[in-house]
A and B are shown apart, each in its own frame.
Chain A
Amino acid sequence: MGYTLTRSEFDQVLEGLSEKYRLYAPVLKKGQGRFTDTDVVIYDFVYSSSEIEFEKKSDYSFKEILTPLSQTLFFFTENVIKEADIDDSEAVVFLRSCDMHALKRLDQIYLHNGSHVDSFYKKIRDKLHFVLIGCTSSFQDCFCVSMGTNRTEDGYLFSVNYVDGHYDVDLKDASLEELFADSGAAAGDVTAAYVTENEVEVHVPEEIPNSVIGSDLWKEYDKRCVACGRCNLVCPTCSCFTMQDAYYTDNGKVGERRRVGASCMIDGYSTVAGGGEYRKKHGERMRFKTLHKISDFRKRYGYDMCVGCGRCDDVCPEYISFSNIINKVDAAVKEGES
């Protein structure tokens, strides 16, 4: 069922949705960018359409609702443990096609990775619904088409294309029909917008032989990469975390366990008990990350981890391009074949 809505009609729909759901969407945070008086697009809870950033790619992804950067799991004292309360009311997440595909990867890791299901993740995940933001054009650094993530046909309540100040909705969930009808929205012929080409193209090799591990191509990143981990923290598919046990300073017997985001590029990730560190060189870290994204994950689950959102390229302070690395790996593999 398709609709075309004005801003006020769309806001009425959001208001109706808000009665049942929390709305989680990309928001332009004024002045909260890295540099003075620059902005950043981060996910947050919203109430109206004017708060939602429809025209920019979000700098950080929606994954922060599922895998918070810092999440207290439980509190402990002597013999008692109490799980932390979380807000597990239903929520609607607004995201683009690449991120819908990223969701599948996160589910894979946290829910369908062997016999263990991550209950903390599941608790939140069970309460999430999605709205697909249609992409009317490709952004800088996107390579979703190459990764096959440019299109999503199901798994969401409705899609919305923001075009010239109005909202074109393709409603999938019949239970919301009344809400749309009540808003006065005009019926129309709408499908979710998606891009069919990106300026950036990559070719992921079918099979990546182990010999690539020894390739010289990683060496360049020993110096170029500063191991800041920004690429991991903006990535919608990076799902590594680490644990922190904090003992409250005025009572050392009471405390909390948190899990916090981790990054395979940042110092300390491969440090083991006794101080050994497996991947000291930044080039080695880059190799590990790359092969995880386009080879190792696939070996296990049959599809690539990277969804081609290009956020890692957008954020890298050293202008290191991940899409270019994929193509370098491709070239190295081809060279090895010949």
Chain B
Amino acid sequence: MIRDYDMKDYKRNAFRQSKHRGEIASRVRVPGGRIDAESLMRVVEIAEKYGDGTVNLTNRQGFEIPHIRIEDRDKVNEELQLIIENTGVNQGEPGEGYPASGTRNVVACPGQDLCPFGCYDTKELAQKIDKMIFPNNHHVKIACTGCSNDCAHVRLNDFGIIGQTEPQYDPNRCIGCEQCVKYCSKRSVGALSVVNGKIVRDTNKCIGCGVCVNYCPTRAWTRSKEHYFRLELMGRTGKKNPRLGEDFLKWADEESICKIIKNTYDYLDAYLDMAAVESKEHIGYIIDRTGVEEYLKYAMKDVELGPKCEMAGRIYWGGKRYDQTNELRKSMFRFSDREE
């Protein structure tokens, strides 16, 4: 049999090229990392029928079914149809599998659905965002986490969405037990203090984690009606300059965040370096090239931030610059004998 396959087409179809010749792996997209049992069974069936009976759990809450023969792609795509429909992932032609793979699965922590600290429904927002941006070949990573604990490690994504609540204080229900003060300081940032038996919140320091609300025994602290969000921008892993995402907005609303993400795709259309390997260039590196102001021209188009929202004046990213030096022994500061 002649083996002549357009691997680029396979990749766009969400199949990974394997190092084993003749094999591919099917990447199952699970927005928000929540899958129904029927779809999960189908993953198992595909693995048993077309793979070697194993399934990899991916870092981004999807599945990867390895050791599938290249020739079986169409059959696997047919089987994937049920999963695609159940997970509500946008598709081109039914039966033809996933229409893209560039824009990565949107990750979510357990959030409000399960976690006492979740400030919003992370799974629901992840699914909503996925519907809004997928399919697309641009390499974009988005993650939603329910609170500032950041269990979903959103700071390693291009867009890290962190839930916030603005604690509301009713002094008439406060008995001055100081549990909020204690837990804000032990489990969070220490934004509360006692003045004359009542509690004062340092509104600048408060990160909106809701820990005080959780521990208050009287409902003197309650959550704001509005769900707020902190938006982290352009975190990444990788070879050249891995770095954590930086704060861009706090106390933002959901609609603005969605718009900013959507607008980013226009920026990518305009600035992506088509000469990049596999025309795959990470947004963060494009912003390094064009400057953040140019990026924001696109990203903030038609975005109307709410009255509470604060935006970072300047954004500087740190991280290790392996393209400049990889030196460990001759660091700037010498502390120990290990150094020459």
Interface of A toward B, CB cutoff 8 Å: 29, 31-32, 34-37, 40, 42, 60, 68-70, 228-230, 233, 242, 244, 246-249, 255, 258, 260-263, 266, 268
Contacts and interface: CB of A to CB of B under 8 A. Distances in A.
Given A31-B222, A36-B227, A247-B196, 4 more contacts: A32-B219, A35-B116, A69-B174, A233-B217
B213 A266 contact: no
Contact of A36 (B112, B173, B198): B112
24 contacts: A29-B219, A31-B223, A32-B223, A34-B116, A34-B213, A35-B116, A36-B165, A36-B227, A37-B112, A60-B218, A69-B220, A70-B171, A70-B173, A230-B217, A233-B218, A244-B197, A246-B196, A246-B197, A249-B195, A260-B174, A260-B197, A262-B175, A263-B175, A266-B179
B215 interface: yes
B172 A69 contact: yes
A42 B219 contact: yes
Contacts of A69: 172-175, 218, 220
B295 to A, nearest CB: 32
A260 to B, nearest CB: 4
A195 B233 CA distance: 58
Interface residues of B, number: 30
B190 interface: no
Nearest to B210: A36
Contacts of B195: 249
B120 interface: yes
B119 interface: yes
A292 B86 CA distance: 56
Contacts of A37: 112
Given A36-B120, A249-B195, A266-B179, A261 B218 contact: yes
B176 A244 contact: yes
Given A32-B222, A230-B217, A260 B176 contact: yes
Nearest to A266: B177
Contact of A31 (B116, B214, B215, B225): B225
A69 B179 CA distance: 15
B118 interface: yes
A268 B214 CA distance: 21
Contacts of B172: 68-70
Contacts of A248: 196
A69 B176 CA distance: 10
Contacts of A266: 177, 179, 217
Nearest to A37: B112
A47 B222 CA distance: 24
A263 B177 CA distance: 9
A47 to B, nearest CB: 20
A62 to B, nearest CB: 15
B197 A40 contact: no
Nearest to A59: B219
Contacts of B217: 228-230, 233, 263, 266
Interface string B198-223: 10000000000010011101111011
A36 B196 contact: no
B63 to A, nearest CB: 29
Contacts of B177: 229, 263, 266, 268
Nearest to B113: A36
A229 B175 CA distance: 11
A248 B172 CA distance: 17
Contacts of A258: 197
Contacts of A261: 175, 218
A34 B223 CA distance: 8
A229 B220 CA distance: 14
Interface centre among A233, A247, A248 (most CB of B within 10 A): A233
A246 B222 CA distance: 24
B153 to A, nearest CB: 21
Contacts of B215: 228
A102 to B, nearest CB: 18
A229 to B, nearest CB: 5
Contacts of B112: 35-37
A129 to B, nearest CB: 23
Contacts of B198: 246
Contacts of B173: 69-70
A320 to B, nearest CB: 14
B187 to A, nearest CB: 13
A230 B217 CA distance: 5
Contacts of B118: 35-36
Nearest to A35: B116
Interface string B166-182: 00000111111101000
Nearest to A258: B197
A320 B226 CA distance: 33
Interface string B102-134: 000000000010001011100000000000000
Nearest to A269: B177
Contacts of A42: 219
A194 B251 CA distance: 49
Contacts of A242: 175
A36 B174 contact: no
A39 to B, nearest CB: 11
A70, A246, A266, A268 — which one has the most chain B CB atoms within 10 A of its CB?
A70
A314 to B, nearest CB: 13
Contacts of B223: 31-32, 36
A35 B219 contact: no
A261 to B, nearest CB: 4
A268 B120 CA distance: 35
Contacts of A255: 196
A40 B170 CA distance: 15
Nearest to B168: A32
Residue among B175, B179, B196, B197 facing the most chain A CB atoms (10 A cut-off): B175
A94 B176 CA distance: 28
A124 B219 CA distance: 23
A250 B165 CA distance: 32
A281 to B, nearest CB: 18
A37 B112 CA distance: 9
B12 to A, nearest CB: 38
B214 to A, nearest CB: 6
Contacts of B174: 69-70, 260
